Every structure is written in C-alpha cells, then in structure tokens.
Amino acid sequence: MRILVTGASGQLGSEVVRLLQQREAERRRDRLEVAAADHAKLDVSRRDAVMAAISSFEPDVVFHAAAWTAVDACEGDPDRALAVNGLGTRHVAEAARRAGSHVVYVSTDYVFDGRSSEPYTEWDTTNPLSAYGRSKRAGELEIDPVWTTVRTSWLMGRTGSNIAKTILRLGRERGEALPFVDDQTGSPTVACDLAEKLLELGLARRPGVFHVTNQGSTTWFGLARAVLSAAGLDPGRVEPIKTAELVPPRPARRPAFSVLDNAALRLGGDRLLPAWEESVERLVSALG
C-alpha cells in the first residue's frame, strides 16, 4: 500500500507520518510505502506540482494534512487562504481522482458559527465566521462523498507551535497573571490521538464526514489551567477574560461554542478518543 501525506511536517502530518513509519517498521499489516511531502517538497497551491507528485507515486491513500492554519493571518489575506486551503484541496482531489487514490481531508470546527448551545453533529449546517473557516469549508466541498473528511478542533501536538506550548512558555517566563478567554468553548484535541483515528478511518477508506476530537469540552481559560497544573505550575495565575477584552483584538472572529459531537463514531459503535484532560496531561509530560 502506498500512502502520501501532505503537510508532513505540521503538527498533525508529522504524527501521521510517525505512526505510518512505525507500522512500516513493524510490518504489522501489508507492506506500506510512505511519501512524506512537507511544504518544501510539495506546495499544494501549485496544480502542476500536485499532479506530478500524485501521478508518479500513485498513492492508494492521500492524507491531506497541509493547510494554512494561521487563523488571524488568513483574515488579512483571504485569497491566500483560499488558494492553499480551497484550491489546494481541489488540486489534491483532481490528482487523486486520476490516480484512483482515496483522500482523507482534515477540516475544522471553525466551519461552524458557534451560535448553537448543543455540540455540532456532522450533519449540521456550516456557516464559517472567518476567512480561514471559509477556506477550509471550500476545501470540504472538493471532497468526493466516497472519501473521508475528518473535522477536528483545538489541535495541539509535539511539533510546531501551538497553544499548549504557548501556555507553558508564558507560565514559565512570566510571574504575573495570565489572562485567557472564558467565553469560547471547544474540545482540545491532541495530535497523536487524532492521527491514530485518522489512520484507522483512512486506511479502511471509510466514506463521509467524521467529527474526531478528544472527549469533553472547556474554554481557553480551562485549558490554560489544566496545562499549568499538568506541568506542576500554579493554575491560580490564570485569569478569565472575555474575547472583547483581548488587547489588541484578534482580527478573525472565532465561534463562541464549537464543540463537535463525534456522532458518526459514537452512533456507529466506533471507539472515541480519550477525555481531553487525560490526553493534555500526557502531552504536557511529553513536552517536558
């Protein structure tokens, strides 16, 4: 089986590649051949490059983890967001159709507007509030129904920069109070947990949209407290503030409530990811 991973050095892409290489080494299943295509090797916004990479490797499965994920920067350059996240996904889809590959697309809770007070299911209506959310929704529309779309939220892993690392750095560097917003609610999701489920769904070529997050929900304030506690730092230093009080204000609007009901997994009897508290604690000890 040949597998190509886009965005292979990102938070999620690197975990997917690590797991695939582990399987390759263990030869647990059929022999796997993995092509780890990071941004330098494959720019998904370049149609010719994507067509060439996929037609020459002829992957059975493409894990499409490449995206421009800087939510506030996307707001300032919506064309670039669309070129990478929307059109880039169109290129991957076009090449995959020609090569007969199955595509696994990774999307986001930011496709929802957050006006609900109930967790969003896979079948709920999308209405993104930001340029990033719109560009990721554009990518969703390029995905064939027989392929796999996985929406996740509040992703954090061992590589790259993310909120858990930022909280730890601030907690260690700064002595004073740490303000975090308590009026945005979502589900923190640890990249290695998500990567496991992505492989399970993708290698089985499970069709349709799946919400995949760690279970439970919190606010950024709650997450900051949990990260500090797990690192043996004082969670009492975290202070709740409102989004409107952020200085300077963030350019991109975020949904106030973006908890994803993992309904397709839950109702289908599939194993869910662990509770976010458990996984965040494991991540913090791995980050050291």
Ligand X SMILES: NC(=O)c1ccc[n+]([C@@H]2O[C@H](COP(=O)([O-])OP(=O)(O)OC[C@H]3O[C@@H](n4cnc5c(N)ncnc54)[C@H](OP(=O)(O)O)[C@@H]3O)[C@@H](O)[C@H]2O)c1
Residue selected from 4, 44, 53, 231 as contacting ligand X according to rule CB under 6 A = 44
Residue selected from 39, 47, 90, 237 as contacting ligand X according to rule CB under 6 A = 39
Residue selected from 34, 45, 87, 187 as contacting ligand X according to rule CB under 6 A = 45
Pairing of strands 218-219, 185-186: antiparallel
| Stretch of 3-11, 170-178, 197-205, 228-236 contacting ligand X, by CB under 6 A | 3-11
Site string for ligand X, 140-179 (x = CB under 6 A): ------------xxxx----x-------------------
Please enumerate in sequence order all residues whose Cβ is within 8 A of that of 250, keeping only pairs 6 or more positions apart, or say none.
72, 243
Binding to ligand X, residues 85-144 (CB under 6 A)? 88, 106, 108, 136
Whether the CB-CB separation of 139 and 133 falls below 8 Å is answered with no
Is 120 among the residues known to form the active site?
no
Q: Does 43 bind ligand X (CB under 6 A)?
A: yes
| Stretch of 10-18, 54-62, 170-178, 229-237 contacting ligand X, by CB under 6 A | 10-18
Residue selected from 9, 89, 214, 219 as contacting ligand X according to rule CB under 6 A = 9
Whether the CB-CB separation of 224 and 197 falls below 8 Å is answered with no
Per the listing, tokens 């009026």 go with: 183
Instruction: Name the token pair of 98.
Output: 């020609």
Nearest distance in Å: CB 220, ligand X: 12
Nearest distance in Å: CB 147, ligand X: 14
Q: Does 190 bind ligand X (CB under 6 A)?
A: no
Q: Please, which residue, 53 or 238, has the CB nearer to ligand X?
A: 53
Nearest to 152, CA basis, from 209, 96, 90, 100:
209
Q: How far apart are CA 208 and CA 219, in angstroms?
A: 29
Q: Please, which residue, 94 or 237, has the CB nearer to ligand X?
A: 94
Nearest distance in Å: CB 234, ligand X: 26
Q: Does 188 bind ligand X (CB under 6 A)?
A: no
Other Cβ atoms less than 10 A from the Cβ of 242: the count is 11
Considering Cα of 5, then 73, then 254, then 137, what sign does the dihedral take?
negative
Q: Is 237 left (phi over 0), alpha (psi -120 to 50) or beta?
A: alpha
Q: How far apart are CA 170 and CA 187, in angstroms?
A: 22
Q: How far apart are CA 52 and CA 46, in angstroms?
A: 10
Q: Does 68 bind ligand X (CB under 6 A)?
A: yes
Query: Which residue among the candidates 105, 110, 120, 132 is catalytic per the annotation?
Result: 132
DSSP per residue, 122-148: TTSPP---SHHHHHHHHHHHTS-TTSE
> Which backbone phi and psi does 200 adopt, to 5 degrees?
-60, -45
Q: How far apart are CA 4 and CA 41, in angstroms?
A: 12
Q: Please, which residue, 225 or 254, has the CB nearer to ligand X?
A: 254
Q: Does 67 bind ligand X (CB under 6 A)?
A: yes
Q: By rule CB under 6 A, what count of residues binds ligand X?
A: 27
- Active-site residue list: 132
Binding site for ligand X (CB under 6 A): 6-7, 9-13, 39, 42-45, 65-69, 84, 88, 106, 108, 136, 152-155, 160
